[in-house]
Structure 1
Amino acid sequence: MFFKVYFVIAYLLLLASGLPLSAHREPPERLEKLNRRSKDHSIDSTLLLGTYEKLNHKRDILALDNLRNFKPKLVTDKFQLLSPVRDPKEVYQTILYNLFNLYWDGSEGNWRNKCGASETPVVWSVAVALRAISNSGNFGTSQQINDILSALNKYKLNTLEGAYSALTAQDSDVYNDDVSQVSWVFTDVLGSYQSLLQLGYNANDLINYLGTQVNPQVGGITWKCRLPYVSSILTLEAALAAVRYYEINSEPSLLTFAIYNLNWVFNNLLEPDTCFIYDGMSADTHGVNKGKLTYTIGTAISTMAYLSKYDSSYDWKSIALGFALKALSNGTCDNQFFHSDGADVGILNDSLDHSHLLFAGLADLLELTSPASEYESQAYQMFRDFVQRQVRHLYEKYLNSDIYIGSACPSTLSALLDFGSLVQIFQDASRVVDGI
């Protein structure tokens, strides 16, 4: 994602240093077992949990005691909501059609990286576009969704079950966060189209693979296959992949894997004062990359919202609520994630591809949990108002233009990743607000 280029450079420097990389490679016996186990397409609890158990990984959330009872004064009157002019569901359906109409290349059986261009996208962009479609719950017949999903076969590694290459070269250039997002797509479609199991779209293989990517030195999931950098967003995305797939599979180790991953991030990469999440750490030096983005917060909130349905070991809803309040500075939107002056004060400054998962997290919290007090009811309404205000801003910025009309390639947001992220934001908004 945002840091991929940075860490490719870091990886090249590591190669140049002459330091042995063999110590960071996945144990061959685990990968062999993965390939054997995946033949029957079942979840293997030893693949998921084995490394964490060898590390005696703690399930305790050491850093989050203060969030369970975090009830700051809510600021609900700083920003004025504009009178709604559109139904976000109608906007979503329109730009979803535009996404498919403008970016899908039926002759090539793949998406276009940019509207009107023949450049092939990376698998991350494809996964984001597919999730914009699969998350709608209404995307045509099994054959139609199979035609679109078949684009992923161009990236699938035949030598390693569950892994997807960043490029259609199908080489070992595997970023594990891509695998997590592909698994979300499979979980979406399998919830509606069980017949697709017969066509090979099985999230078991992907989640088993993610289990092999738990770093054997420190825990957490490695950002790129066989490299020592452990990424917070990937570890959280894998947690969300597991708990969402639990709704279909009901394998208990999926919940345990989700909790292990969530707690690893909380115990290793949480900024103490803000409860924002650092980008990751080196398994070799334990050095922490202190970059922070909203997609980690959103994915953590989503994971806890789902866990609140199935696991009673923690008060997941209260922790997720505290996370959301921290991210929005109790309603003031006065932190590093927001513009601090000018016409855009209080508007998210993260790019669409990094902020769309924050909207997903808030939508999951609002849709999957319920307020249990007057205070929580006020907080939930504050989150809805936040979504309405932010998405209204996006509508005015992008959709009073050729993006909304959709008859030709848009002059802005021409990249598949950006357009797909925008579609996802409006889809999530349509889940929780009636007008923007």
Structure 2
Amino acid sequence: TSTSFSSSKLLSDVSSGFSDTTNEIWQRFWLSSENAFNSNDDICGGASYDEPSLWNQAVIGRASVLLQDNSKIGSIINNINDYQNSQLKVFSASTAKNTDIYTDDNAQIAWVFIDAYQQTQNQQYLEAAKYIMNFLQNQTINGGVIWQYQADYIASISTVEAALAAVRLHEITNDDSLIEYAQKNMDFMFQYLQDPSDKLFYDGLSQSDYSDVNKGKLSYTVGCALSTLAYLYKDTGNSYYKNQATELADAATNKNGAFYDGNGLWNNQLQYEHLLFMGFSDIINLDSDFESYTSEVLRQANYIYNYLQDPNDLNMYFGLIDSSTQSMFSRYSKAYTGGGDSFSGDNNYCPGSSTKIKKSFMDNASIAQILY
């Protein structure tokens, strides 16, 4: 069970939440001495430097570009470029710039460059997105995208994120081969990686043995698939893509399905949830037939906004209710009575403070995108 809420009030409340949270992340996690983001929260002062992974940079990068602040765009792009492998010209998981390169990371970096180009018209950003897209295409076998450079595993998240990069790049270049690429990737997803019993996607499979399937299911894969299908339907007019999006959206919102806990809340890690919200946003904005999902998406957003936001640290959020504060957990337990949670209380309070608690860089970057 859960409390009722006013969707109109929620939308009004979060109207400035995106910019407030994104700016607070910049205040707390941008380290001027390094010209880089820091994984460590500086709420206590004197935070040591801990380099974020490329995935984290991609998530805060997209939120930062969406702020439409050109100075921040320049700063985050420069920081991302610290991860570029000099030989392959795509991006490593760390600033070691080695061949520890992941296609899902790079697809999200392509989105950042696409957004940055659309905001600034800087041709270098568009060329960077095209270069990444070419790399992703070269890591694709029969429509499935290899997860790690020079490895065997075909990942569903890489396959759908590369497809989404393609359809988003097509919006700028009108290169129809990008649509064909995305179509082939989605065909691969539906043929080899969809569970016929619940219509959700498996995590991936071995390119050397398609029967060797990792049957884990994550919501971010469905989110990226929904976004890609929205673009494909818009660009081709083929109702097949609308029907597939409907089937996936139904599967993702099945309260007895893999994505729900006993309290009727989405159960995947918050740091990945922004992609599911993005997928629903894309299909709802595409066609009025998808508006029926709006109330469920807003119900999930209401939980994040009203139960995970720290009242002592407004615009910043905990990733889990279990590791929030005792008062927050008590309030949650009265509203959500389905059980399954226990308060851990392992908070990282600032020395000498009973209210200031360090927050997660990645969780809050994800929430910034959800608020957008």
Pair in the same fold by TM > 0.5? yes
Partner SS state of residue 315, structure 1: helix
Q: Counterparts of 2:103 and 2:240 in 1: how far apart (Å)?
A: 29
Partner SS state of residue 230, structure 1: strand
The aligned counterpart of 2:299 is 389
Q: Counterparts of 1:248 and 1:227 in 2: how far apart (Å)?
A: 31
Give the drift of 1:412: 6.1
1:130 equivalent among 55, 61, 71: 61
1:156 equivalent among 73, 77, 84: 84
Give the 5 Å matches for 1:4-153. Answer: 81-83=4-6, 84=9, 86-116=12-42, 117=47, 118-134=49-65, 136=66, 138-141=67-70, 143-153=71-81
Q: Is the 8 A contact 2:54 2:93 kept in 1?
A: yes
Partner SS state of residue 404, structure 1: coil
Tell me the amino acid that sits aligned with residue 380 of structure 1: E
Q: Counterparts of 2:167 and 2:207 in 1: how far apart (Å)?
A: 25
Give the drift of 1:424: 1.0
Q: 1:131-182 CA distances to partner (integer Å, 9 max, x unpaired)?
A: 1122x2x4223x4421221001110011013x21001010010011100000
Q: Counterparts of 1:200 and 1:191 in 2: how far apart (Å)?
A: 9
2:267 equivalent among 344, 349, 371: 349
The aligned counterpart of 1:242 is 166
Give the drift of 1:97: 1.1
The aligned counterpart of 2:327 is none
The aligned counterpart of 1:414 is 359
Partner SS state of residue 198, structure 2: coil
With 408-417 and 240-249 compared, the bigger mean Cα shift is at 408-417
Partner SS state of residue 205, structure 2: strand
Tell me the amino acid that sits aligned with residue 203 of structure 1: A
Matched, 1:296 2:227: no
Give the drift of 1:87: 2.1
Give the drift of 1:388: 1.6
In structure 2, the CA distance between the partners of 1:144 and 1:418, relative to structure 1 (3 Å rule), is closer
2:106 equivalent among 171, 179, 189: 179
Matched, 1:278 2:202: yes
Question: Which sections of structure 2, spanning at least 5 residues, go unmatched?
Answer: 317-348
In structure 2, the CA distance between the partners of 1:412 and 1:187, relative to structure 1 (3 Å rule), is farther
Matched, 1:307 2:232: yes
Q: Is the 8 A contact 1:176 1:225 kept in 2?
A: yes
Q: Is the 8 A contact 1:221 1:231 kept in 2?
A: yes
1:231 equivalent among 139, 150, 155: 155
Instruction: Give aligned-pair identity as a percent.
Output: 32
Question: Which sections of structure 1, spanning at least 5 residues, go unmatched?
Answer: 1-77, 372-378, 428-436
Q: Is the 8 A contact 1:308 1:369 kept in 2?
A: no
Q: Is the 8 A contact 1:156 1:164 kept in 2?
A: yes
Tell me the amino acid that sits aligned with residue 146 of structure 1: G
Give the drift of 1:91: 1.6
Q: 1:85-109 CA distances to partner (integer Å, 9 max, x unpaired)?
A: 5522222221111111111112211
Q: Counterparts of 1:413 and 1:338 in 2: how far apart (Å)?
A: 28
In structure 2, the CA distance between the partners of 1:198 and 1:290, relative to structure 1 (3 Å rule), is closer
The aligned counterpart of 1:266 is 190
Q: 1:359-398 CA distances to partner (integer Å, 9 max, x unpaired)?
A: 0000001112232xxxxxxx623x2111221111111222
Q: Is the 8 A contact 2:14 2:371 kept in 1?
A: yes
Q: Counterparts of 1:87 and 1:144 in 2: how far apart (Å)?
A: 25
Give me the TM-score of the superposition, normalised by structure 2. 0.83
In structure 2, the CA distance between the partners of 1:199 and 1:184, relative to structure 1 (3 Å rule), is closer
Q: Is the 8 A contact 1:91 1:426 kept in 2?
A: yes
In structure 2, the CA distance between the partners of 1:319 and 1:411, relative to structure 1 (3 Å rule), is farther
User: What is the aligned residue count?
Assistant: 327
Partner SS state of residue 281, structure 1: strand
1:380 equivalent among 255, 270, 291: 291
The aligned counterpart of 1:49 is none
In structure 2, the CA distance between the partners of 1:107 and 1:420, relative to structure 1 (3 Å rule), is same
Q: Counterparts of 1:296 and 1:223 in 2: how far apart (Å)?
A: 13
Q: Counterparts of 1:412 and 1:298 in 2: how far apart (Å)?
A: 31
In structure 2, the CA distance between the partners of 1:171 and 1:107, relative to structure 1 (3 Å rule), is same
Q: Counterparts of 1:411 and 1:351 in 2: how far apart (Å)?
A: 23
Partner SS state of residue 155, structure 1: coil
In structure 2, the CA distance between the partners of 1:322 and 1:206, relative to structure 1 (3 Å rule), is same
In structure 2, the CA distance between the partners of 1:175 and 1:214, relative to structure 1 (3 Å rule), is same
In structure 2, the CA distance between the partners of 1:346 and 1:413, relative to structure 1 (3 Å rule), is farther
Q: Counterparts of 1:324 and 1:412 in 2: how far apart (Å)?
A: 36
Tell me the amino acid that sits aligned with residue 168 of structure 1: T
